[in-house]
Structure 1
Amino acid sequence: MDPKIEQFVGVTGVSHRDARRFLDKYKRVDIAIDAYYNDPNAAAPPRPAAVSTTKLNQLFDQYKDPDSEEITVDGTIKLCEDLRVDPEDVVLLAVAYDLKSPRMGEWSRKGWLEGWKALGADTIPAMQASLTRLRERLGSDSAYFQQVYNYTFDFSRPAGQRSLALDMAQGFWGLLIPHGLEGGAITHIASAQAEEDDVDMTGTGEGWKEAYTQWWFDFLNEKGGKGVSKDTWQMFLEFVRTIDARFETYDAEAAWPSTLDDFVDYAKGRLASGGA
């Protein structure tokens, strides 16, 4: 059976025939599901039954560590295989947020049950469809992106540590920032200072460019240091959203972390030298 049809049926509860009809027309599962729920003529097929706690518990038991009451790394790898998703896919950060994962690659029964119930999924096909919708939402919904972004720092930080290791922070930035830029969740907004000064943004571009993420990594690696603080992590997203493409509207007197002050000088230097 076509996995797309199984996903559609798992979410909507319609017949395989109706699922095929919508997928033939709309091709993508997420678009087809939205079309189904927005189609007044599609009301005849029953809406899906309430999410089954029994099914979710059975799935949790299938993946959980036999020696603990949590799904751990080995179970997460098996889950990813069954969901047909790469363990390093950015969508799993959204799943971690919605299921309130306590640590990377780990899932509690409470978070599993409450999270999948909220997402309306109690089977693997329905979970696959949820991942499709979460990936799209993470890329396009600014508020949701920020919630997932902030949660990523907390759930990935080692127990007892106040900062996130530099290489780990770069790995997460490398997943989140391009996804947000591509989908529009990170859109350029003029900073309050720029609006107050009525800065002419003509010719400066929309703001943060994809290449600047690598500049940020290069700067951090040259600067040295072992970790990224929560303040720097959270403020960096605001910085990316408000900085102009030539770093001209940056207000060094504002309450930015000193690391960002230094980065702006570094970025201006690279721009002056041709942006290499």
Structure 2
Amino acid sequence: MDDKIAQFSSVTGASTKEARRYLTKYKRLDQALDAYYNDPSAGARHTASTSKLNALFDKYKDPDGDDITVNGTIQMCEDLGVDPEDVVLLAVAYELKSPAMGQWTRKGWTEGWKALGVDTIPAMKTTLETLRRQLATDTDYFRRVYNYTFEFSRPPGQRSLGMFSVPCTTATRNSLRNCVGLDMAQGFWAILIPHGLQGGALAHVSSAQDGDGDERMGAAGEGGEEGWKEEYTQWWFEFLEKSGLKGVSKDVWQMFLEFVRTIDSKFEKYDPEAAWPSTIDDFVEFARNKLAGNA
């Protein structure tokens, strides 16, 4: 117990008395830490140190610039014990207001971690697991991270997302600002959609329900209605590649999230007269043909 108390206090900055109280109640260190950080009053008890956060930022900062960039991000990920392609880093990017992939500003870094109430690597590791669970289970949080991903992933000075500027095929100059490269969009969908499906953040809801005030349906809705299946994400990628599109508009990105949450598994209740992007209209026809064995 003494070792656990010491670890709890080291991570959270809590007193020995408070650490003992949480560990006595929750027994396991990970569960006690999770309960502490989910306690609304925890932030009031422990204020993250700006000086500690600045010291960590300086450790990872590009020596020739003002921000943490790719090399520093890789080192940070190694210290946190997380893969650079882990979906949880999208939640971290949202919390720390990352301006671009692999880039972190001092202001976003310090304000973001302080809002989360952590200032050490051990505490950050615990917070990452909390964010991972929240991203998997909380529909509203998933939506906020999902929408932010589109915005932060476009490098400064480029009008589309990706290592190179990839324009949408028929887009105008103005609409290019709201377009992301197809490969990059698929990469983010490939990690976000399965995470939300498995945790329940993308649990199926009836298309007749309001998307914001919906009732969770789980894998099946009213009357046993099933929704989006994991294999359909690959169908979506197959369709996009066959379509010849080279970019994904902001409208398609945002509406696809609601489409995944509301479409039935047989694509029977899709309303082509609703305000869906034409790309999703075409995908529904593609998916129906796949289900009928014609594709």
Report the TM-score, using the length of structure 2 for normalisation. Answer: 0.80
SS in 2 for 1:71: coil
Partner of residue 286 from structure 2, selected from 266, 272, 275 = 266
SS in 2 for 1:107: coil
Q: Which residue of 1 aligns with 2:165?
A: none
Moved over 6 A (4+): 2-5
1:37–1:52 CA distance, 2 compared to 1 (3 A)? closer
Alpha-carbon distance between aligned partners in 1 of 2:282 and 2:83, rounded to the nearest angstrom: 35
Q: Which residue of 1 aligns with 2:14?
A: 13
**What is the letter of the counterpart of residue 73 of structure 1?**
V
* Stretches of structure 2 lacking an aligned partner (at least 5 in a row): 160-176, 211-220
SS in 2 for 1:268: helix
Shift of 1:33: 2.2
Q: Which residue of 1 aligns with 2:268?
A: 248
Identity %: 61
SS in 2 for 1:102: coil
Shift of 1:158: 3.1
1:58–1:23 CA distance, 2 compared to 1 (3 A)? farther
Q: Which residue of 2 aligns with 1:137?
A: 134
Q: Which residue of 2 aligns with 1:197?
A: none
Alpha-carbon distance between aligned partners in 1 of 2:5 and 2:88, rounded to the nearest angstrom: 18
Instruction: Check the 8 A contact 1:55/1:122 in 2, yes or no.
Output: yes
1:216–1:59 CA distance, 2 compared to 1 (3 A)? same
**What is the letter of the counterpart of residue 72 of structure 2?**
G
Aligned length: 263
SS in 2 for 1:255: coil
SS in 2 for 1:106: coil
Alpha-carbon distance between aligned partners in 1 of 2:76 and 2:25, rounded to the nearest angstrom: 29
Q: Which residue of 1 aligns with 2:238?
A: 218
Shift of 1:91: 0.3
**What is the letter of the counterpart of residue 133 of structure 2?**
E
Shift of 1:28: 6.6
Instruction: Check the 8 A contact 1:204/1:246 in 2, yes or no.
Output: no
Partner of residue 57 from structure 1, selected from 51, 54, 57 = 54
Query: Alpha carbon RMSD of aligned pairs, Å?
Result: 3.1
Alpha-carbon distance between aligned partners in 2 of 1:121 and 1:186, rounded to the nearest angstrom: 29
Alpha-carbon distance between aligned partners in 1 of 2:209 and 2:121, rounded to the nearest angstrom: 49
**What is the letter of the counterpart of residue 238 of structure 1?**
E
Report the TM-score, using the length of structure 1 for normalisation. Answer: 0.85
Please say which of residues 217-226 and 156-165 is displaced more in the overlay.
156-165
Alpha-carbon distance between aligned partners in 2 of 1:147 and 1:269, rounded to the nearest angstrom: 33
Shift of 1:188: 1.0
Q: Which residue of 2 aligns with 1:22?
A: 23
Shift of 1:35: 4.1
Partner of residue 67 from structure 1, selected from 54, 64, 68 = 64
Q: Which residue of 2 aligns with 1:154?
A: 151
2:234 equivalent to 1:239: no
Shift of 1:222: 1.0
**What is the letter of the counterpart of residue 234 of structure 2?**
Q
1:164–1:50 CA distance, 2 compared to 1 (3 A)? same
1:193–1:95 CA distance, 2 compared to 1 (3 A)? closer
Shift of 1:20: 12
Per-residue CA deviation, residues 148-185 of structure 1 (Å, 9 max, x unaligned), is 00000000023331211111101100110000011111
Instruction: Check the 8 A contact 1:5/1:16 in 2, yes or no.
Output: no
* Stretches of structure 1 lacking an aligned partner (at least 5 in a row): 195-199
Per-residue CA deviation, residues 116-137 of structure 1 (Å, 9 max, x unaligned), is 0000010101111110100000
